[in-house]
Structure 1
């Protein structure tokens, strides 16, 4: 068999083995060295192939697909700097738990460190960020196919979260006739080809038992923190906390309905702190908290007991509390720790949250990003999903909005970067084929501008709202040096996105009032499955000023009065 043909057989086994672990979507960038993997993926009828010309965006497309589908997604790229461009998406997957398999084609060993073209040191390129790393040998019949499939099975069987990096060297020639029939090398796998099971199966048993102190603890004064969890988990955590009579501090990504909204505004209030300090136990579901004041309270609180429940292993507590970490899903934990009917031990927080939300409604009555953040729930499509960008907009939504309980909300809040947000939302849209609302800032949109090309492929109405406040206004909230703030931090650009939308064939609208925005979005949801880019050109600093103003006002307010 020719070298090119055996490369194809080797790649065919790799892709088929991965499908046995639920792989259905694969994202492919153009490249020559990756030809065996690309053609094997194209020939596998179990796989849906997605393409993009930019590897950085491609990695985030896979991240979005995995985020929304809850299934493993693979990426194929060629050798060289194409591999390095996957780094941001790989890091994010490691922090937020999506299972993404990065298949990186490579030059064979004899072409490394000798001046060969497009040959870099790829083994270990991602350091400790992948959950698992495989460095495969050059394809050879001396290695049985059973070794290849069992090696991949072993990695996938234990890939509970994060990225798997599989480095795949291929020697030339890369092109030639494929061997359509089976070969002795592939025939050695026997009936495996006709089955749908992995060659090597492994069952991971997660034993969940009730904590021995739970009967006593659930009668105490508790506080629940909800970070990034799934819509189903958000509903159950909210119900569970309510039954126990414990206040719930819900993040924008918690999907709990945030029963105590605007927590990022009132958590610094002395009355609030005094009330919360009565808690004897804090139980946190999920990580990646957004709000600054919630993070500060989480770090500074000192209850007798602190528990964290999250399926991502490792330490997820920046406050380093003495307590316990339960590495399992919130649903598994809730099943073993039933609530009892308790009366709320504090009604003060409900009153504080209600008054604060009313004040937000009054102060955000002008058109701008603060008003849009506060009323974002009115823009959401029925049976749809929301993808939120980073920097200022996610903080405004977290502080001002109250999103529907159980409504799917996604974001890249692991490393909280602005790279790849447009491409990640494209992946989320493709995975679910549901109406999708994406909202992000202007610098984030500029950073990933070429990934607007991914939004040409749509399955349902798709809306991207770009909040254009002319730069990175998150820095206007920080104590950055005023003289250097604009040039080195905010970096105003005086650009708009009308021509970008036209370049990628997207519908474009730029409403100048809330009513116009609401009407535009409602028409999008009722219309054909196209992508509409909505640009909101707003005052540079009003959003940041509004957030700072409300934080100061609520922090110093005496809530013993009937209203703020």
Structure 2
């Protein structure tokens, strides 16, 4: 009997089962123990294969693919610390709902806790962060193939979002020519191999019912808060809110077109807060709000009811309002709860929003990161998409910019880490093949620098815009101790990215004014492949500009 052949047949059942649950993309890191899984994936023509030498980046690449495709994505890694490197992407997926299937190869039980090389305790190592976990046994012909396939179907059929961890131990030998070992075991699944449906169809769909008193509430004074949602849902929500005559406070990730832009500025004005206090009901669609002033208002508002609508389960409301937690996609909920045409009830807020926009617009000619955030809509590629990094970048765009309604915007705003941002953006581009603009800070780019290797394979124009303010300038907005701020918080690295781009054979530009930036972008959007554009700005100008604008708008 050939152990290597049976390992391959066992792995082939696992990979084929994944295809029945919509998995098209498989992300693979190099490794020996994962050989049965890797070769089974390579031989299965239903898959699009992606490779990367860094498992942390590989996990985020899969996250980006899942984010943009809205499909589950599989990841294959070898044993040991390779598995641990998937933790950040797994955590993010758990908070934002992308479906990841992590196939982690492992040593067999007799090699654990005995000093064997590259052997760690992998089952349960991700604690409570996976949506589900499955520790498979060592491949054995004593275990029916129908047990293996039905176990996987039961696990994947009920997955609503987040990552599943499937730990797969394999004994040596791992290599060798295929023979007939396990062929009868494999053939016991009969014509399942030629079908395209799961062996076991399991479903566990959780969805809130229609709110029968909606006809009553839609006649009240309401406020809509829009967090993360899809581009189509953002456009629908903007139209729905306009019909109702309710003010819509749109996050940069809402894709609603932010009909009342600069909310993070005008929410600091007492007139706006006073008018919002008249709301009898607040409806929040989507989670992961960005703006500090929006979060502060959300935490202190006291309407009669607060409804939060999101496809993800869980409370999702850090302020713990009295109201309703409704599990539904935004589009489905809007269809079930039609708007009734009414005149807008807010007067001060539209005026304050327009004045805030004009205040920001007056500073747009200065070459800086705050002005970039305000101008961002001018630089988006046609029929493209935007990926926003974390820290100061997303906050400035949220506070000072206005993105087109229905234009796709992606980010990692679940755990809001800066790890893996370039890898995630690469996955977003690969899933859609659209022109992509990704904007990150210099520390974020440094954190995921080897992901530039992934950008070499961009199938459409891809621009990585690195805003280099020499450190983590988000801490300039926080009351960090001045004496320790630079060394322990900002951590300026005094680096530029020309050599990094050259190392990976990527085009590079460092514009010094808006005309040069626009020229670099015009050239980048004309051809497939990635371009790195580094915007070197004065360290604290972005944070200081935001603080100055906040003060100005608060006194309008």
Show the 5 A alignment for 1:403-482. Answer: 403-482=403-482
Which residue in the other structure is 2:546 paired with? Answer: 547
8 Å contact kept, 2:249–2:260: yes
Task: State yes or no: 1:286 paired with 2:286.
Answer: yes
Q: 1:347: how far off?
A: 2.3
Gaps of 5+ in 2: none
Instruction: Please say if residues 106 and 167 of structure 2, whose CA atoms lie closer than 8 Å, have aligned partners that are also in contact.
Output: yes
The residue number in structure 2 matching 1:94 is 94
Counterpart residue number, 1:78: 78
Instruction: After TM superposition, give the deviation of residue 363 of structure 1 in Å.
Output: 2.5
Find the counterpart in structure 2 of residue 200 from structure 1: 200
Give 1:524 deviation, angstroms. Answer: 1.3
Decide whether the 8 Å contact of 2:207 with 2:328 is kept in 1: no
The equivalent of 2:311 in structure 1 is: 311
Cα distance in 2, alignment partners of residues 6 and 63 from structure 1? 31
Counterparts in 2 of 1:174 and 1:182: CA distance versus 1, 3 Å = closer
- Residue 206 of structure 1 and its aligned partner are, at CA, apart by 5.6
Q: How many residues align?
A: 556
1:561 alignment partner in structure 2: none
| TM-aligned CA deviation for residue 516 of structure 1 | 1.2
User: Partner of 1:532 in structure 2?
Assistant: 531
For the residues of structure 1 that align with 2:102 and 2:142, how far apart are their CA atoms? 25
Partner of 2:129: 129
Matches within 5 A, 1:91-170: 91-170=91-170
Q: Distance in 1 between matches of 2:214 and 2:476?
A: 46
1:180 positional shift? 7.5
**Does the 8 Å contact 1:208/1:336 carry over to 2?**
no
Taking the aligned partners of 1:181 and 1:81, their CA distance within structure 2 comes to 32
CA contact (8 A) 1:80 1:118 kept: yes
1:209 offset after TM fit, Å? 3.9
Q: CA deviation at 1:204?
A: 4.4
For the aligned residue pairs, the C-alpha RMSD in angstroms reads 1.1
How many angstroms apart in 1 are the aligned matches of 2:363 and 2:548? 10
CA distance in 1, matches of 2:551, 2:165: 47
User: Residue 532 of structure 1 aligns to a residue in which SS?
Assistant: strand
Instruction: Give how far 1:358 is off.
Output: 0.6
Per-residue CA deviations over 1:16-74 (Å, capped at 9, x if unaligned) read 00000110000000000000000000000000110000000000000000000000001
Deviation at 1:178, TM superposition (A): 2.1
- The 3-state SS of whatever aligns with 2:531 is strand
* Matched ranges for 1:22-37 at <5 A: 22-37=22-37
CA distance in 2: counterparts of 1:205 and 1:161, whole angstroms: 11
Partner of 2:256, secondary structure, is: coil
Q: 1:268 Cα shift?
A: 1.9
Q: Determine the structure 1 residue equivalent to 2:395.
A: 395
Contact 2:2 2:181 in 1 (8 A): no
1:320-360 deviation per Cα after TM superposition (whole angstroms, max 9, x unaligned): 00111111111111111000000001122111101100100
**2:6–2:181 Cα contact (<8 Å) kept:** no
Separation in structure 1 between the aligned mates of residue 43 and residue 461 of structure 2, nearest angstrom: 30
Aligned partners of 2:475, 2:490: CA distance in 1, in Å?
A: 6
Deviations 1:350-399 (A, max 9, x none): 11101100100112320010111100011100100000000001100000
Q: Is the 8 A contact 1:57 1:423 kept in 2?
A: yes
CA distance in 1, matches of 2:27, 2:17: 17
Are 2:495 and 1:495 equivalent residues in the alignment? yes
Return closer, same or farther for 1:270/1:502 CA change in 2, 3 Å cut-off.
same
Of residues 497-506 and 265-274 in structure 1, the stretch that sits farther from structure 2 once superposed is 265-274
Question: In structure 2, how many angstroms separate the alpha carbons of the residues matched to 1:351 and 1:256?
Answer: 19
Match of 1:562 in 2: none
What TM-score does the superposition give when structure 2 sets the normalisation length?
0.99
Secondary structure at 1:375's aligned position in 2?
Answer: helix
CA contact (8 A) 2:60 2:424 kept: yes
CA distance in structure 2 between the aligned counterparts of 1:355 and 1:523, rounded to whole angstroms: 35
Task: Check whether the contact 2:6–2:182 (CA below 8 A) recurs between aligned residues.
Answer: no
User: Is 1:295 paired with 2:295?
Assistant: yes
Q: Distance in 1 between matches of 2:71 and 2:179?
A: 31
